[in-house]
Structure 1
Amino acid sequence: MTFLFCTSGLVQTGFSQQTNSIGMSLVPLPAGTFYMGSEREGKDADESPVHRVSISRPLLMGATEVTNRQYEAFDPAHKVLRGKYGFSKDDDEAVIFVSYAEATAFCAWLSKKEGKPYRLPTEAEWEYACRAGTISDFSTGNGLPAVYQKSQQTDRDAVVVSLKTGQTPANPWGLYDMHGNVEEWCQDWYGPYVPGEQTDPTGRAGGLYRVTRGGSHGTPVTFLRSANRMAMLPEDKSWLVGFRVVQAPPVTTKPLPALPATAVFQGVSQQKQLWKPVPDNQPVFREPQRYVRKPDCQDNVPFYSHNHQPAITWCPNGDLLAIWFSTDAESGREMTVLGSRLRKGATAWDQPSEFFKVPDRNMTGSSLFHDGAGTLYHMNGVETDGDWQNLAMALRTSRDNGATWSAPVLVSPEHTKRHQVIAGMFKTKEGWLVQAADAEPGPTGGTAIHLSKDGGKTWTMPSAGQPAPAFTAGGSGALIAGIHAGVVQLSDGRLLALGRKDDIPGPDSVGLRMPVSISGDMGNTWTYAASELPPVWSGQRLALIRLNEGPLLAVSFTHHPDERDGAKAGMYFRRRDGSVFKGYGMYAALSFDEGKTWPVKKLLTDGKERYLNGGAWTGAFQTDRTHAEPKGYLAITQTPDNIIHLLSSSLHYQFNLSWIKE
């Protein structure tokens, strides 16, 4: 029996610090017990409950994160990634741009080379080593001294710092860089903790995300706490994440069961809906209803103050499926994607549940699409940090009405610009998928498109590598003019897009107009002109779709509601009797000539006086004969019965072509 004790901060385990054949220093850690987790709530609720954990056997852990020199003894080709985005150029800096599979492959190679078992630490082993006998937020106490800190804030543009290992003081057990430098892969699948005392826990039996720990050089200090939990898609890699190893036999503890599906995936009917089109002469406008509903507290749904940026599609079983992000801050790492169903025959949307969330990652930008042949597509942005500039794009598909989904695949794996997904994926007449994504994180800068010719397996970005153009009338460039663009295919095969900002002066001094962009080469180049529609402003996102009946439908807003100049606010609309009135807010516009003109424009209200709340940036508003919803982010789909389903940031509108033309 080995006697375990600590003295003067040095761990006595019955074996001593070692250096292996690739120069890696290994620190002995004792068997022992500790309290895992924290009592934090809200954004950090996944750290609770605090539970007592026993690590039953001593082990050796890398004193530092694996360095470039050490990793490249296994994979010399990795050297081409040194200095990418300016990070980790030198031999003794922490290796980055390594996926989970690559980290585990390194461990297998080192095990064979050394004749000793190496692996990634379990999440419990990692926190045990990080705490090093402490119970405070950090091994240094409840604060992290400045000597440990680098760029500990959310940086839209990454701040390059040295990732040299072992340059800050070691923790009480002789381990370096446990708080910061780079995040570190752990062995476990991510999942919630369970209460009760545990021995050598190993996480969940399966899942979508692998745990990472420790925080990085470019995240706020709170994410560097000993208890803070993070995770990533296993194939993801970035300038924030590396790993360290342990020398220890495999853990044989049985993992906890994989997580059950949340409510949006449960009880989904697989009976195919037989759609009956509404007659062309039957106008439909239904009472607007909330689809963003606050969940019951006992459901433990992560529901935050800001619910925004929806996407919607219809399912073959007759359900509508909506998703949106919920967060306290749009650059927050707490941001999650929630989902809800309006089930066939139901009169109210389900309460929301979590639809997609990579833990502690910003999730800006979602899209849903049903290809009409039974496959649903979900595309989502995934950040490494907060903010939403440097996103990768993850794709999932479902063939059972969204009850189950394929594992997310990073179809655009680089965390970079031009990846902020916009609702409105569609299929061209050639059978190709088109997905729009903002090119810049700010209010201007245009929209890129991503194109798949093989049903979503591979994607290309026609404008990749091309600079943003000057969006001027008669000009041309590589991007759509305006962010948050809606895109459709014209009957002659060209693409047409409408966007927000990057506005173009209209004819005859009418002021700025919403830009229209046309591409004759499937997004490689675009030409620009002023449309006849007013600009889209902050807090607003247009929707654009080709209707089942043939016309193009654009839904947008007459003006920005903060305008106080009565001459600029509102638009003129024509009543059925030929009289003209000025209306304010959301309107529908129809084009029967492939976007050249928009002769039918109708305010999206049935004239009833209502108090409504659009949530997000919209808030409370009143509708009547001349006022509709003043702003919101729009998403649209049309079911085979020809009912148009429009989501604003919080409300669901239902109407049809006959009502617009009425």
Structure 2
Amino acid sequence: MSARWTVILFLLVQPGMQSIARQKNSIGIQLVDVKPGTFNMGSNRGNEDADESPVHAVTISTGFKMSATEITNKQYEAFDPAHSKLRGQHGFSLKDDEAVVFVSYEEAVAFCAWLSRKERKPYRLPTEAEWEYACRAGSATDYNTGNELPAAYQKLQHTNRTPVPVSLQVAQTPPNAWGLYDMHGNVEEWCSDWYGAYTAGAQIDPVGRKTGMSRVTRGGSHNTPVKYLRSANRQGMLPEDKHWLTGFRIVQGALPATKAIAAEPLPANSQAVSQQKYLWKKVTEPFFDAPVVYVVKPDSSAGIPFYKHNHCPAITWCPNGDLLAAWFSTNAENGREMVILASRLRAGKKSWDTASLFFAVPDRNTTGTSLLYDQKGMLYHINGLEVAGDWQNLAMVMRTSTNNGATWSKPELIAREHTKRHQVIAGSLITKEGWLVQLCDADPGPRGGTAMHISKDKGAHWTTPYNLPITPLFKENSMGGLIAGIHASVVQLNDGRLLALGRNDNIKTDSVTERMPMSISNDGGATWQYEASVFPPINSGQRLVLRRLNEGPLLLISFTHTPGKPGTEGMDFTKPNGEVFKGNGMYAALSFDEGKTWPVKKLLTDGTIRQLNGGAWTGLFTMDAAHAEPKGYLAATQTPDNVIHLISSNLYYRFNLAWLEK
């Protein structure tokens, strides 16, 4: 028996089957009657799918009509003819009868409002509960076809770094028991609810939260692992976002009059935040504090999505004296479970708060975080946002806070296109002209370079200082539009030029010796000249810091070598008594002449023997007089008291310029 006939036979005998009544509306949308009923919503899978719990009984008290298929290009363009220019973008959805994509939540709602006026009938997006009820069609299994989704329904059900075009033609596989097509896959579908945690207990016609950050999407899509196509799986998007994975279907019928659930409480990093301006006192005596852990795992009962891989941090100081650190938490760096967590070191405290949720868009990879205080009352948070998993096709999102991070503005897409050159790097800066500069990895490959984004109006508008195709453009010793190396860091020199250092794209000084590349721009980042720096190159699991200190010198924090790479072990360092020794791991270097020379190089250890855990790709290591942390993604800030605050992937360091010069 063929797979298609097996599916049809299953649909004919599954429980909960309703008689199918269909009608077409004025623009050819086929509508299916969905009768009232009760079902168990959610699942108890836990871990990455914990937001599907608890399972709770939901009654849909009033029937409604739902479009048998996702809205097609032809149907949507009866409302918005200009959308036709998006047909075929990235190779998707070119034909009339393919599901429409590149539609935001607001645009889907506007379509429903237009159709309601046109027909004098109420059209809208389904609630999340209505969507799952209709998808299940009486089933209680992972899919409405059982606990497996037959191959006939699947369209490249794995993550592709570069999305692979497939046909999005609707109704090409059998409908579910209630006559609805493509409820598993094809494209994701917008729902009307704000995304938020479920509440326990039986419910009637739930409509979700009063407000939130993301709107719910359901059903999964092409170019996506099949587990995201389950009936219970919850996804979400920022309402103004749009891309090639998401479209929508509609409901005819009034929105339930149920009262929305209150918005979720603020996370711990936004609670009890002091608004008192901190009085900083300059620290002049040399000091180096023993490193402490800042990634503090929350109690499992707290419901905070804390995963095994915590990495890629950012840090800033706040005017109330707090430090705020943020990083991603995930099981895999290309995982869709990824969230951004944060912690505070509150003014006067020695221990960091327990990690709490800072930023998340359900089932979207959010690689790359930056934090910055402009010293005029504004905190900036900039983050990458993927279409799905991986970290190549990112948009850039920005939030701001004027109250020390107690509350944040609505996330705004400052670079809407999901594409390369948007993987945010910690280490934003403000130039002497007042421009906000954000660096991003240009390409996920090892020789991808670093791109620059600039805002001249405090983040309201962003531009790039170059006009180059989306390809790696670094070529040794030549002019180009990208900084050499990924994960780069940049400073503005006193004469206005920009100087950057990065990882990979190394430059040889002779037939065997490689050095970290240095990039210099005389035109605000439009073009760069490349040359070898005096520093050894870094590689996997390592990210440097380059910044100007309050006192004037340039500070580089990097690593002597990449562990496991033969022939690169260690660097020579000089003790105060003039003795030279071989040191290994994280070091600081100082330049007092705008990067021409770096006379001070110091291993970041006080010589005390310690067993430490660097987390992420670093793991356990021993710190002693000749060994510092061997790996880690670094981020740093300097407070007005001139204390340097450095974080790696798991550890927090605190020291000052006087100690570096000692």
User: What range describes the TM-score normalised by the shorter chain of this pair?
Assistant: over 0.9
Residue 170 of structure 2 aligns with which residue?
A: 165
**Partner SS, residue 74 of structure 1:** coil
- Contact kept, 8 Å, 1:11 with 1:29, in 2: the verdict is no
Structure 2 length-normalised TM: 0.97
Letter in structure 1 aligned against 2:591: S
- Contact kept, 8 Å, 1:65 with 1:242, in 2: the verdict is yes
Q: 1:298 Cα deviation (Å)?
A: 2.2
> Does residue 97 in structure 1 map to residue 99 in structure 2?
no
Counterpart among 296, 301, 319 of residue 298 in structure 1:
301
- Contact kept, 8 Å, 1:473 with 1:530, in 2: the verdict is no
Residue 643 of structure 2 aligns with which residue?
A: 643
Q: Quote the Cα distance in structure 1 between the aligned partners of 2:157 and 2:474.
A: 37
**Partner SS, residue 339 of structure 1:** strand
- Contact kept, 8 Å, 1:469 with 1:476, in 2: the verdict is no
Residue 3 of structure 1 aligns with which residue?
A: none
Q: 1:12 Cα deviation (Å)?
A: 5.4
> Does residue 183 in structure 1 map to residue 188 in structure 2?
yes
Q: 1:299 Cα deviation (Å)?
A: 1.6
Counterpart among 78, 83, 97 of residue 78 in structure 1:
83
Listed one character per residue, the Cα deviations across residues 270-313 of structure 1 (whole Å, up to 9, x for unaligned) are 0000111112xx11111110001111122221111100000000
Residue 7 of structure 2 aligns with which residue?
A: none
Residue 541 of structure 1 aligns with which residue?
A: 543
Q: Quote the Cα distance in structure 2 between the aligned partners of 1:635 and 1:499.
A: 14
**Partner SS, residue 476 of structure 1:** coil
Letter in structure 2 aligned against 1:400: N
Letter in structure 2 aligned against 1:458: H
Between 467-476 and 381-390, the greater mean CA deviation after superposition:
467-476
Residue 469 of structure 2 aligns with which residue?
A: 466
Residue 63 of structure 1 aligns with which residue?
A: 68
The residue correspondences of 1:605-616 to structure 2 (distance < 5 A) are: 605-616=605-616
Q: 1:186 Cα deviation (Å)?
A: 0.1
**Partner SS, residue 348 of structure 1:** coil
Residue 571 of structure 1 aligns with which residue?
A: 571
Residue 437 of structure 2 aligns with which residue?
A: 434
Q: Quote the Cα distance in structure 2 between the aligned partners of 1:557 and 1:8.
A: 64
Q: Quote the Cα distance in structure 1 between the aligned partners of 2:213 and 2:366.
A: 15
Listed one character per residue, the Cα deviations across residues 172-207 of structure 1 (whole Å, up to 9, x for unaligned) are 111000000000000000011111111100000001
Residue 590 of structure 1 aligns with which residue?
A: 590
Q: 1:504 Cα deviation (Å)?
A: 0.5
Give unmatched runs, 5+ long, in structure 2: 1-10
The residue correspondences of 1:89-238 to structure 2 (distance < 5 A) are: 89-238=94-243
**Partner SS, residue 228 of structure 2:** helix
Residue 309 of structure 1 aligns with which residue?
A: 312
Residue 329 of structure 1 aligns with which residue?
A: 332
Q: Quote the Cα distance in structure 1 between the aligned partners of 2:238 and 2:496.
A: 36
Letter in structure 1 aligned against 2:322: D
Residue 259 of structure 1 aligns with which residue?
A: 264
Counterpart among 265, 269, 277 of residue 272 in structure 1:
277
Q: Quote the Cα distance in structure 1 between the aligned partners of 2:465 and 2:480.
A: 12
- Contact kept, 8 Å, 2:449 with 2:473, in 1: the verdict is no
Listed one character per residue, the Cα deviations across residues 468-527 of structure 1 (whole Å, up to 9, x for unaligned) are 465344311010000000011111111111000000112x55711000111111111111
Q: Quote the Cα distance in structure 1 between the aligned partners of 2:599 and 2:141.
A: 66
Letter in structure 1 aligned against 2:552: G
Letter in structure 2 aligned against 1:266: Q
Q: Quote the Cα distance in structure 1 between the aligned partners of 2:27 and 2:499.
A: 57
Q: 1:383 Cα deviation (Å)?
A: 0.7
Between 72-81 and 463-472, the greater mean CA deviation after superposition:
463-472
Q: Quote the Cα distance in structure 2 between the aligned partners of 1:406 and 1:391.
A: 20
- The 3 A distance-change label for structure 1 pair 12 and 538 is closer
- Contact kept, 8 Å, 1:544 with 1:553, in 2: the verdict is yes
Residue 448 of structure 2 aligns with which residue?
A: 445
- Contact kept, 8 Å, 1:12 with 1:28, in 2: the verdict is no
- Contact kept, 8 Å, 2:128 with 2:192, in 1: the verdict is yes
Q: Quote the Cα distance in structure 2 between the aligned partners of 1:363 and 1:607.
A: 38
Counterpart among 383, 387, 391 of residue 386 in structure 2:
383
Give unmatched runs, 5+ long, in structure 1: 1-5
> Does residue 477 in structure 1 map to residue 480 in structure 2?
yes
Listed one character per residue, the Cα deviations across residues 355-384 of structure 1 (whole Å, up to 9, x for unaligned) are 000011101000000001111000001111
**Partner SS, residue 443 of structure 2:** coil
Q: Quote the Cα distance in structure 1 between the aligned partners of 2:160 and 2:107.
A: 27
Letter in structure 2 aligned against 1:504: I
Residue 367 of structure 1 aligns with which residue?
A: 370
Letter in structure 2 aligned against 1:498: L
- The 3 A distance-change label for structure 1 pair 273 and 20 is same
> Does residue 38 in structure 1 map to residue 43 in structure 2?
yes
Listed one character per residue, the Cα deviations across residues 24-66 of structure 1 (whole Å, up to 9, x for unaligned) are 1001111111110011100000101111111111110000000
Q: 1:463 Cα deviation (Å)?
A: 2.9
Q: Quote the Cα distance in structure 2 between the aligned partners of 1:575 and 1:250.
A: 73
- Contact kept, 8 Å, 2:17 with 2:137, in 1: the verdict is no
Q: Quote the Cα distance in structure 2 between the aligned partners of 1:327 and 1:401.
A: 26
Residue 520 of structure 2 aligns with which residue?
A: 518
**Partner SS, residue 43 of structure 1:** coil
Q: Quote the Cα distance in structure 2 between the aligned partners of 1:561 and 1:473.
A: 25
- Contact kept, 8 Å, 2:42 with 2:56, in 1: the verdict is yes
Letter in structure 2 aligned against 1:227: A
Listed one character per residue, the Cα deviations across residues 623-653 of structure 1 (whole Å, up to 9, x for unaligned) are 1111100010000100000000010010001
Structure 1 length-normalised TM: 0.97
Q: Quote the Cα distance in structure 2 between the aligned partners of 1:140 and 1:502.
A: 50
Q: 1:139 Cα deviation (Å)?
A: 0.4
- Contact kept, 8 Å, 1:11 with 1:28, in 2: the verdict is no
Q: Quote the Cα distance in structure 1 between the aligned partners of 2:146 and 2:225.
A: 17
Listed one character per residue, the Cα deviations across residues 430-475 of structure 1 (whole Å, up to 9, x for unaligned) are 0000000000112221000110000001111223443546534431
- Contact kept, 8 Å, 2:473 with 2:482, in 1: the verdict is no
Q: Quote the Cα distance in structure 1 between the aligned partners of 2:12 and 2:121.
A: 28
Letter in structure 2 aligned against 1:548: N
**Partner SS, residue 443 of structure 1:** coil
Q: Quote the Cα distance in structure 2 between the aligned partners of 1:340 and 1:317.
A: 15
Q: 1:569 Cα deviation (Å)?
A: 0.7
Q: Quote the Cα distance in structure 1 between the aligned partners of 2:39 and 2:96.
A: 35
**Partner SS, residue 111 of structure 1:** helix
Q: Quote the Cα distance in structure 1 between the aligned partners of 2:518 and 2:554.
A: 13
Letter in structure 1 aligned against 2:361: V
- Contact kept, 8 Å, 1:183 with 1:243, in 2: the verdict is yes
- Contact kept, 8 Å, 1:419 with 1:438, in 2: the verdict is yes
Q: 1:599 Cα deviation (Å)?
A: 1.4
Q: Quote the Cα distance in structure 2 between the aligned partners of 1:249 and 1:469.
A: 52
Listed one character per residue, the Cα deviations across residues 525-546 of structure 1 (whole Å, up to 9, x for unaligned) are 1110000000011010001110
Q: 1:575 Cα deviation (Å)?
A: 1.2
Residue 600 of structure 2 aligns with which residue?
A: 600
Counterpart among 328, 344, 347 of residue 347 in structure 2:
344
- Contact kept, 8 Å, 1:376 with 1:397, in 2: the verdict is yes
Letter in structure 2 aligned against 1:433: L
Q: Quote the Cα distance in structure 2 between the aligned partners of 1:468 and 1:55.
A: 51
Q: Quote the Cα distance in structure 1 between the aligned partners of 2:454 and 2:146.
A: 51
The residue correspondences of 1:238-257 to structure 2 (distance < 5 A) are: 238-257=243-262
How many residues align? The count is 651
What root-mean-square deviation, in Å, do the aligned CA atoms of Structure 1 and Structure 2 show? 1.4
Q: 1:7 Cα deviation (Å)?
A: 8.9
Counterpart among 56, 79, 93 of residue 88 in structure 1:
93
Q: Quote the Cα distance in structure 2 between the aligned partners of 1:645 and 1:135.
A: 52
> Does residue 358 in structure 1 map to residue 352 in structure 2?
no
Letter in structure 2 aligned against 1:429: K
**Partner SS, residue 298 of structure 1:** helix
- The 3 A distance-change label for structure 1 pair 131 and 467 is closer
Q: Quote the Cα distance in structure 2 between the aligned partners of 1:392 and 1:49.
A: 32
- Runs in 1 of length 4+ with deviation above 4 angstroms? 6-13, 467-470
